[in-house]
Amino acid sequence: MNTYRADAVVLRTKELNEGNRLLILFSRAHGKIRAMAYGAAKPGSRKRGAVQPFCYSDFLLVRGREWDTVSQAETREMFVRLRDDLDLLGYASHFAELVDLFTPAGEPNEPLFHLLLAGLGFLGTVDAELLARSFELRALGCLGYRPELERCASCGGSLPRGPLAFDPAAGGVVCGECARTFPAGHRPPVISAQALAVMRSLVRLDPGRVGLLQVPARAREEIKNVQRLFWEYHLEHRARSLGFLEDLGRRGP
């Protein structure tokens, strides 16, 4: 049999009949893996804990034509803080969905793998909203899409002190002069100097230190909106997890 080992995070699962479960895994050495875990959803299965969503586990897999098969699975980290907190679960779903949507099967991306582990590990210990913004920016960087935040993404010039805008098609922040060249009704959203400074800090800071930032609500909203525009531009559609997070925000404390 063509077997191999992989340490991986379970991005999502789908229950099938007879206790079988389809898994989408993101592994350190093999990238994204589609696998079938036969009988894993049954109460007595030894694999059951290791194949829960967002678990980090060691897998022994058998290669198949369309889906690989999970032969063995052992849990490394369950991230138990996520299980009883709907908000944290929503953010974990957001991290996993972005990784799933942006990565093709079979292409390793070790920096992104470590970023995902860090994001899941820090949820519940730091400001989850800022952690999500940090994760989005860093994930885009791991994938080669990090937005330009230091110079005008359109003309390449230095960014003035005056009004700035954020254009996904140009690749990031654009100066006011370049923004005025856009057709009326299609001009990119304005971004404040404060929001831009926070985004630059999120790129530099370790994810575990994002809680050190003092960010007012208005700047948080700006950052969320421009980053959403940016990764949705590259995805070409809206992520499901975003709607879930917005519902949580409307629910309030």
Domains and CATH numbers, the chain: 3-78 (2.40.50.140), 83-147+184-251 (1.20.1440.120)
Q: Taking the CA atoms of the chain, what radius of gyration do you get in angstroms? A: 20
Q: Could you report the per-residue pLDDT of 153-211, keeping only the tens digit for each?
A: 999 999 988 779 999 999 999 998 898 888 777 778 899 999 999 999 999 999 999 98
- pLDDT recorded at residue 249: 53
For the chain, the average pLDDT equals 90
pLDDT grade, residue 253 (50/70/90)? very low
35 and 61 Cβ atoms separated by less than 8 Å: yes
For residue 143, which of 230, 47, 248, 64 has the smallest C-alpha distance? 230
**Cβ neighbour number for residue 183 with a 10 Å cutoff:** 6
| Rounded CA separation 195/30 (Å) | 37
Q: Considering the chain, what percentage of its residues have pLDDT values greater than 70?
A: 92
Greatest C-alpha distance within the chain: 65
Strands (E), the chain: 3-15, 21-27, 31-37, 56-62, 68-77, 164-167, 172-175, 190-191
- Residue 128 pLDDT > 60, yes or no? yes
